[in-house]
């Protein structure tokens, strides 16, 4: 997907650009910076650690809180059958939470089996090829070499210890610029 993002930005006339991502988007921002450093001028990572690091920290508390990672990532017993049987029960959103227009868009998406399949494939990639790439980068000592801002929500009770905050010495973030400090000017 990082290559697709570079192609899109070049198609829009941007040979170099800053990239910021939250959660899953942060994985893409990291991938862009590692695989296409010539295209990335600066990186922002919000509430994410590399997938391999999150899974190395995984414990029973994380598995109980974030079980959907493993359920949606299944290949032998795909989650789509369960979700497609009653998408509204699975996602449990309301128009009051989202606003009427966004809610209708949401409902249309979750009732489309192709969309549900794509969402599950995202988790499968995270537990599979994305983790393989992160682990290979870690073994090779590859690090982001662009200005980097790493921000972490310290008061989010939904985030178990497995997902953060980042430990710069163990992930692809350069220690001199991680931990929420602004990138050098």
For residue 66, being part of any structural domain is answered with yes
Average pLDDT on 37-46 reads: 94
Question: How many structural domains are present in the chain?
Answer: 1
pLDDT tens digits, 75-92: 888 999 999 999 999 988
Check: CB of residue 120 under 8 Å from CB of residue 80.
yes
User: Which residue from 47, 27, 24 is spatially nearest to 35, judged by alpha carbons?
Assistant: 27
Q: Which domain holds residue 39?
A: 2-177
For residue 183, being part of any structural domain is answered with no
For residue 184, being part of any structural domain is answered with no
**In this predicted structure, what is the pLDDT of residue 166?**
57
For residue 96, being part of any structural domain is answered with yes
pTM above 0.85, yes or no: no
pLDDT tens digits, 6-28: 999 999 999 999 999 998 899 89
For residue 182, being part of any structural domain is answered with no
Task: Report the C-alpha gap between 71 and 81 in whole angstroms.
Answer: 12
Q: In what order do the strands lie in the sheet with 40-46?
A: 17-22, 40-46, 148-151
pLDDT tens digits, 88-107: 999 889 999 999 999 999 99
For residue 56, being part of any structural domain is answered with yes
For residue 25, being part of any structural domain is answered with yes
**In this predicted structure, what is the pLDDT of residue 157?**
59
CATH number for the domain harbouring residue 106: 3.40.50.1820
For residue 45, being part of any structural domain is answered with yes
């Amino acid at each position: 997907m990082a290559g697709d993002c570079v192609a899109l930005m070049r198609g829009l006339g941007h040979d170099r650009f800053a990239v910021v991502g939250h959660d899953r988007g942060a994985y893409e921002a990291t991938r862009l910076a590692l695989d296409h450093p010539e295209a990335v001028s600066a990186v922002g990572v919000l509430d994410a650690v590399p997938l391999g690091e999150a899974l190395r920290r995984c414990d029973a508390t994380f598995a109980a809180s974030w079980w959907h990672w493993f359920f949606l990532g299944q290949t032998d017993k795909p989650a789509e059958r369960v979700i497609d049987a009653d998408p509204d029960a699975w996602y449990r959103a309301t128009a009051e939470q989202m606003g009427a227009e966004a809610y209708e868009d949401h409902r249309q998406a979750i009732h489309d089996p192709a969309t549900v399949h794509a969402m599950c494939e995202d988790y499968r990639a995270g537990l599979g090829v994305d983790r393989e790439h992160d682990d290979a980068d870690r073994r090779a000592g590859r690090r982001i070499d662009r200005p980097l801002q790493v921000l972490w929500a310290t008061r989010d009770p939904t985030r178990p210890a497995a997902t953060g905050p980042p430990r710069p010495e163990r992930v692809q973030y350069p220690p001199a610029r991680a931990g929420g400090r602004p990138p050098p000017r």
